[in-house]
Amino acid sequence: MPKVTFIYPDGRKRDVEPQSGLTILEIARKFDIDIEGACEGSLACSTCHVIVDPEWSERLDEPSEDEEDMLDLAFGLTPTSRLGCQITVTDDLDGLVVSLPSETRSAMG
């Protein structure tokens, strides 16, 4: 199983070992990590915004145009920002590190 490290806004780290094939959003929910995901992963909001460690950013597939449009709504956007619902963790991403932003912004209700 791949290992994923979540870094909280206060600097705390949490390592989890999810099954391969889950998205960052699904992993966060499975391990009670606070990511909103208001649209349930349907690519209609930016509340699952995460910041991918620069070492890992280049290893991910490029974001789709739809993902980039939703990222434009994210609070605290960075060059390595991604939507957690669009990152599927595989064994190739063993060791992935993502940071949780200090705030999220929801355009949903």
The domains of the chain, with CATH numbers, are 4-99 (3.10.20.30)
- Taking only the tens place, the pLDDT of each residue in 54-106 is 999 999 999 999 999 999 989 889 999 999 999 999 999 999 999 999 865 54
4: nearest Cα among 12, 66, 83, 19:
19
69: nearest Cα among 48, 85, 45, 87:
45
The pTM for the full model equals: 0.91
Cα angle vertex 30, ends 40, 86, to 5°?
45
52: nearest Cα among 30, 69, 32, 67:
67
